[in-house]
Chain A
Amino acid sequence: MGQSIWNSMQQKGYSRRDFLQFCAAAATVAGLGKSGVAQVVSAFEKKEKPAVVWMHFQECTCCSESFIRASHPIVLDVLLDVLSLNYTETLMAASGFQAEKSLSDTIEKNKGKYIVLVEGAVPTHDGGVYCMIGGKTAESILQTVSKDAAAIVAWGSCASNGCIQAAKPNPTGSTPIHKLVDKTVINVPGCPPIADVMMAVVTHLLVLGQIPALDSQGRPKEFYGRRVHDTCYRRPCYDAGLFVESFDDENARKGYCLYKVGCRGPVTYNACSVTKWNEGTSYPIQSGHGCIGCSEEGFWDNGPFYQHLASFPGFGVESTADTVGAVVGVATLAGVAAHAVVTNIRKRKVIAEVHTEDQKES
């Protein structure tokens, strides 16, 4: 350890030009634009590779899988060289106590300097027995690793807001990380988050050496500041009242708006329609399915997915929605009313309610 990223790239035979290209890509990913390149270069030349541990709790490993889909230049080197990834149950060579040793060594030798990436929620019911690793509960492991961490990132919706296991009735008392640790947690929701967004968050931490600007839900503003709907290439169809009425109908084959067959794009904050998935290959709407809102807290209980959202104030082009969104039932309206509230306030309220529920149950 102790090498700068530039040093490590030189050793591997990369030219200065390669390095600058890498920095430019990193800067773009970090949302810095071209003007940020100088900053990136200087940061990468000076900074040592930070120690990183990646924890797995109640999850499905889709976040790890998404992370390795990252598409920017020399992505492999990000994994092998930009970070010193000392613990990740998915990829690490060591198992058993050798794996545990990698974790405890990292924590001890890098007090206050290591980064904790968490994939998965933590079950809190019944003493935490619903997720145990090496005979210890996920909750106790989380407390141990987060105590001296420089930064904590909650990957995906599980770690950020509980995701599927926290959907009603939340049988195991599944709880997001930010409710369990006494530190700022960077929430990167999504099921999974977009690979390039994950890489950007890591890059942001490394480049600027600080926690990125977060919204009230702890999400980086860079990627969670806009609704999928507002940046969707099918938005003009919505505005013009051109809708898919049924999957694979004539309108679907013309790529019209999916609002009526169920699309959570209007209430979902994520970068899907800008960054897209898998090196910009597509995103759900582009491939004909509505957004299911997987980066929003409680999205599993915000269904059914194929029921279309009603129009409501603050939604966008109200008049269009009123005239075209034909079958708006009373029940639907009531169900959707919550979304009319400004997101930040809504989220705070939801969090408060969940806390109260937790107390009742425990």
Chain B
Amino acid sequence: MTRIVVDPITRIEGHLRIEAVVENGVITDAFSAGTMVRGIEKILIGRDPRDAWAFTERVCGVCTTVHALASVRAVENALGITIPPTAELIRSIMMTTQYVQDHVIHFYHLHALDWVDIVNALKADPKKAAELAQSFSKWDKNTPAYFTEVQDKVKAFAASGLGIFANGYWGHPAYKLPPEVNLIAVAHYLDALEWQKEICKIHAVFGGKNPHPNYLVGGVPCSINVNEVAAINSDRLNLVKRLIDQADEFLNQVYIPDLLTVAGFYKDWASHGGGLSNYLSYGEFPTKGYNQPDSFKYPRGVVLNRDLSHVYPVNATDSQEIKEYIAHSWYNYEKGDSEGIHPWAGETKIKYSGPKPPFVTLEGYEKYSFLKTPRWKDNPMEVGPLARLLVAYASGRTDVQELVKATLGQLKVPVTALFSTLGRTAARGLDAALAMIWLKEYYGQLMERVKINEVSTFNGEFWEPKTWPKEAEGVGLVEAPRGALAHWIKIKNGAIENYQLVVPTTWNGSPRDAKGQRSSFEQALIGTPVVKINEPVEILRTIHSFDPCLACAVHLYDPQGRHLHQVSFE
């Protein structure tokens, strides 16, 4: 029995540590630890609720925009604000844009190197690589000359020390791609790096900048005026159109074909990393406004025990549904650490009780993470692209069902293949493909509204604090690219009394709960083979398949505004 530690887990956002127990080449237990905390919820207390989006947006710069959206939705929910349809369309354009950008970046820059051996790409025949690439894609860069150029680039780079690719697990027996596929993937890794900066310009058009574009309670900050140079005009809308077309081409001619090609060589990973059997989605992409979740393109709901014949409803305001536990987290609860508390009533006193740094292992410590442990009706839930596809599938959404079935057919794998590391990674691609379709749809609808001059982007009815009730509370739900995200706010006398976030990586990456039930990361690692103890690429494959985001996942909060940084070393 060996306990292996991977810290830092790289190619993620934030600071994550995995400790795994390996017996006879297979993982038998795992511990997921978030090792950084900032206290943003505490910082929000007493501030203007209209400013909260800017604070919470800074929770994460990788999933930029998603916290801003959750925050304005929470405030609007609390104050009874309905935003104009045009503003809703612009928010949906920004969000679908984020899905596409985020998933492409994840596949190439955060996940691909778990499957693609960069050094092996040097052995490829560029001509054969071009033939292969042309067989599954119309991307016009896929020529022998292009692949030769990329190969030369990598050669020169290898000769100069490999920089960001140094000390990877190159040559590891778990890498299965032929050299030509490795070369194609490396070439597109570089292309994707150049391309991602383009699609982000959509955020800059509507939000002024990316990362961290601007949002606004009551709508969006930009105004539309097709007779004015200093507003969203026909030129700006044309730019957005061109960026959407570019993104569409990149997604369909590069990302999706690459994903399916790579997946075809790793079908054994359709039986590893399944993890939990429960899936939660808050639903996303309004068609009749945020207040009508039944109209969302992705439905809200829960699937339990992988039973796709039934979807359970989710109520984020019910104190019995969503609760957070701290039995294995570096916090204390007043009524004891085995309690679970709904975010409205939550209390948190941070209490680090791990080893004094520098330390080698967290073994033997009951508490081992700054992440709390959320549960839905006391069940651990997986969230993310796979979860929302499964909830949509089980809800009978035909567009999702057709896409999933076609993809499984193309890969020649059964439906059960979805419940795996490979299934999670493939689901992310399908999620991006759907988001791309909807992005085009939303853009078309925006143009239709501009045509008839329905361009209002802001509802200022309840902008002034004097129009607010003395006390109000709200919830903002978002399906972020990484999964179910919710912000809970309480407003009193025009200021934030209380603010709480429960985010995707908290669901997936948290430590076990009071009953000892593992969360997604830990459960998914159980049964995973590890061929070489010192090069656990298999751990990275499964952990990266969730697209972890640790800055999001860790937070602390205290409704009474008590002193929070009480720490003791036990």
Contact = CB atoms under 8 A, between A and B. Distances in A.
Given A96-B8, A287-B207, A248 B565 contact: no
Interface string B37-63: 111101100011011001100111110
A12 B61 CA distance: 33
Contacts of A282: 204-205, 208-209
A249 to B, nearest CB: 8
A252 interface: yes
A195 B209 CA distance: 10
A165 B38 contact: yes
Contacts of B118: 93
A8 B92 CA distance: 43
A56 B197 contact: no
B152 A13 contact: yes
Interface residues of B, number: 110
Interface string B362-374: 0000000010000
Size category of the binding interface on chain A: 35 or more
B153 interface: yes
B163 A89 contact: no
Interface string A258-281: 000000000000001000011101
B220 to A, nearest CB: 8
B406 interface: no
A69 B160 contact: no
A134 B564 CA distance: 25
Contacts of B230: 233-234, 254-255, 286
Nearest to A130: B37
B352 A192 contact: no
B221 A288 contact: yes
Given A12-B149, A76-B194, A304-B48, A173 B565 contact: yes
B61 A281 contact: no
Best-buried of B39, B196, B205, B207 by chain A (most CB within 10 Å): B39
A164 B38 contact: yes
A89 B550 CA distance: 12
Given A49-B160, A169-B43, A65 B15 contact: no
Interface stretch (B407-415, B440-448, B454-462): B454-462
B43 A165 contact: yes
Contacts of A85: 163-164
Given A279-B197, A283-B208, A102 B166 contact: yes
Best-buried of A92, A195, A254 by chain B (most CB within 10 Å): A92
A59 interface: yes
Interface string B147-171: 0010011001101110111111100
Nearest to A81: B157
Interface stretch (B211-219, B375-383, B474-482, B518-526): B211-219
B42 A140 contact: no
Interface string B497-516: 00000000000000000000
Contacts of B35: 131-133
B414 to A, nearest CB: 32
A175 interface: no
Nearest to B62: A61
Best-buried of B118, B153, B164, B168 by chain A (most CB within 10 Å): B164
B498 to A, nearest CB: 15
A278 B61 contact: no
Interface stretch (A28-36, A121-129, A350-358): A121-129
A192 B540 CA distance: 28
B113 A93 contact: yes
Contacts, number: 342
A136 interface: yes
A305 interface: yes
Contacts of B455: 253
A171 B551 contact: no
Interface stretch (B125-133, B176-184, B353-361, B423-431): B353-361
Contact of A69 (B163, B197, B352, B569): B197
B6 A132 contact: no
Given A1-B161, A64-B61, A80-B153, A278 B219 contact: no
Contact of A248 (B47, B229, B359, B458): B458
B231 interface: yes
A275 B490 CA distance: 39
Contacts of A80: 153, 157, 163-164, 190
B225 interface: yes
B34 to A, nearest CB: 10
B54 A305 contact: yes
A292 interface: yes
Contacts of A13: 149, 152
A253 B204 contact: no
Given A65-B64, A80-B153, A98-B167, A284 B8 contact: no
Given A129-B357, A131-B15, A93 B222 contact: no
A233 B230 CA distance: 9
Contacts of B168: 93-94, 98
Interface string A100-130: 1110000000000000000000010111111
Contact of B160 (A59, A84, A138): A84
6 contacts: A90-B11, A94-B167, A100-B8, A128-B357, A272-B209, A287-B206
Given A3-B159, A283-B209, 12 more contacts: A8-B160, A65-B62, A85-B163, A93-B11, A94-B166, A100-B8, A101-B167, A102-B166, A126-B565, A127-B567, A279-B201, A282-B204
